[in-house]
Amino acid sequence: MNISQSTSLEPGQLREAATRLRDTDGRMQMAYAWYPEPDRIELRYVATEAGRQEFAIWRCVPPNGVPSLATIWPLMGWHEREITDLFGVDFSEHPQAQRLVLHDGVNPICPPFSPKYPLDLPLQHEPVRQVVPELVGATADVQLLPFGPVRADVLESGEFLFFYIGEAILHYQPRLFFKHRGMEKRFEGLTAAGGVVLAERVSGVGSVAHALAYCQAIEAAANCTVPLRACFLRVLLAEMERLYNHLYYLGHLCHTTTLKVGEAQGKLLAERSKQLNTKLTGSRFLRSILTIGGLRRDLSPKGWLSAELEALREDYSVYARHLESTDSHLDRLITTGVLDQRVAFDQGATGPIQRASGFDRDLRRDHPYAAYGQLPVSVPVREAGDAHARAQVRMDEINASIALIQRVLLLLPDGPVSAECKAPPKSEGLGWSESPRGTLFYAVHFDDRGTLARVKIKSPSFSNWRVFPFTVHGSNMMDYAINEASFGLTIAGCDR
């Protein structure tokens, strides 16, 4: 989507526009900032309007500060805090104005994304005592457990504060961004083609989703048309990525419920799926295939992939039946980590997390891209909002993905797989994909030399990490690992 024709709003009009969007069944998606000129900052808001496939884009030039939209759209709270940390924009009346990305003790000489910030200057950091929430009332029996940032196994870094009595968790506070890599900043000055390699590495388990959203943003800025064969193959690759993610998810969920046989079988199926990726593309994680304008090279899935997928589906069906009939596994999932539908909407849940809480939303169907508009996209939905519902959504999506890939193989047209695609200077575009974890957006802006001036990434884990604590408060310590696993979160995708 070319976003140069956005709607200009004054700061005083933002809350009115946000309220009108809420009252007409729309939805805010994200907000970000960038510098069109070295001394001029601009805010962009991306929203979904009811019944429309195109996204609404608002732009606002803040004179000093702007009103916070978090009291109208709570999901905007993290977006605004990130903008404050990295760009220095003040959001008035923000309900939770403490830092998000920059930890206490980090004292940059100016906002890190400011054009005035020296590229070779590391962020200055001074050790400070961590501030924890104050307990009010009878506190003698309340214990505090700070867990992390280094955790056992190969888990990503994050610190989690638990206030608990016995096994009951009274309050939970995650502290992320220990591994913030400044990925968005790394895009600046790159060519469009060079950015594909970086996009594939923002989150290792979402290489296709990230590269696809990025490429589509560039293609929108360039107003170029991707060949039909490449569009169908992009769908195939995206669904292959969904397969191995969901299969591994089921194995890891079994690990947290101590169902060791289920863990081994799920991870074996995930491994088989990755081996199919290797046979198809040469890469287990499907890297170095997508490019701006289509694919780097043609793929030859016909004649073998359909049979291999059918064999995988048959073995998966047996595995799924066993999972759904194992009482010791189900007892740990049912009623664990319930996410209320209203909370899911207000706080911005996305992907299988929102669909497990009763929301029938999916970018592949609602805002079609690649060849999804020409294919039947099944969107599984559950109502319970617990860990079992989140697992069931993914289980159903595995079958739906295999059916979708088989449909692609049946309809796959002949023809070229790439087209010339060059975005002009000062152009901009928005791209998106429905990753295995939910909605993923890339907004790109080019400078007057034709290199990247700004790339904004809104990842699904950024949204779902905000939602997750609402399912932990009031739960118990024994179920925490199961609940976290049921969300399928990645810290790399959130921290970027």
Determine the Cα–Cα distance for residues 354 and 165; give it in Å rounded to an integer: 30
* Contact in structure between 189 and 451 (CB atoms under 8 Å): yes
152 three-state secondary structure: coil
Determine the Cα–Cα distance for residues 23 and 158; give it in Å rounded to an integer: 37
pLDDT value at residue 318 = 97
The CATH number of domain 183-495 is 1.20.1250.20? no
- At 345, list the tokens: 């909407």
Residues of the chain with CATH 1.10.645.10: 183-495
Among 3.30.565.10, 3.30.300.10, 3.10.20.30, 3.30.460.80, what is the CATH number of 7-92?
Answer: 3.30.460.80
Q: 477: burial class by Cβ within 10 Å (0-12, 13-18, 19+)?
A: middle
Residue 426 corresponds to which amino acid? K
pLDDT value at residue 52 = 87
**For residue 88, which of 66, 72, 105, 103 has the smallest C-alpha distance?**
66
Q: Give the H/E segment covering residue 431.
A: strand 428-435
Largest distance between two CA atoms of the chain: 72
Pairing mode, strands 428-435 and 438-446: antiparallel
- At 106, list the tokens: 């980090």
Alpha carbon separation from 140 to 130, 131, 222, 477 (Å, rounded) = 21, 19, 63, 19
pLDDT value at residue 493 = 86
Can you give the pLDDT of all 496 residues of the chain as single tens digits? 666 567 899 998 999 999 999 999 999 999 999 999 988 999 999 999 988 888 999 999 988 789 999 999 999 999 999 999 999 999 998 988 888 898 888 888 888 898 888 888 888 888 887 777 777 766 778 888 888 788 777 678 888 888 888 889 988 988 899 878 889 999 999 999 999 999 999 988 999 999 999 999 999 999 999 999 999 999 999 999 999 999 999 999 999 999 999 999 999 999 999 999 999 999 999 999 999 999 999 999 988 999 999 999 999 999 999 999 999 999 999 999 999 999 999 999 999 999 999 999 999 999 999 999 999 999 999 999 999 999 999 999 999 999 999 999 999 999 999 999 999 999 999 999 999 999 999 999 999 999 999 999 999 999 999 999 999 988 998 999 999 999 999 888 888 8
Q: 177: burial class by Cβ within 10 Å (0-12, 13-18, 19+)?
A: buried
The DSSP code for 106 is: B
Residue whose structure tokens are 């609602």? 366
Determine the Cα–Cα distance for residues 487 and 464; give it in Å rounded to an integer: 8
Phi, psi for residue 431 in degrees, rounded to 5: -130, 155
As beta bridge partners, residue 418 has: 294
236 three-state secondary structure: helix
pLDDT value at residue 2 = 63
Determine the Cα–Cα distance for residues 92 and 100; give it in Å rounded to an integer: 16
* Contact in structure between 464 and 472 (CB atoms under 8 Å): no
pLDDT value at residue 138 = 63
- At 310, list the tokens: 């059918």
Do you find a cis peptide bond into 149, omega within 30 degrees of 0?
yes
- At 267, list the tokens: 């991870």
Residue 143 corresponds to which amino acid? Q
* Contact in structure between 440 and 213 (CB atoms under 8 Å): yes
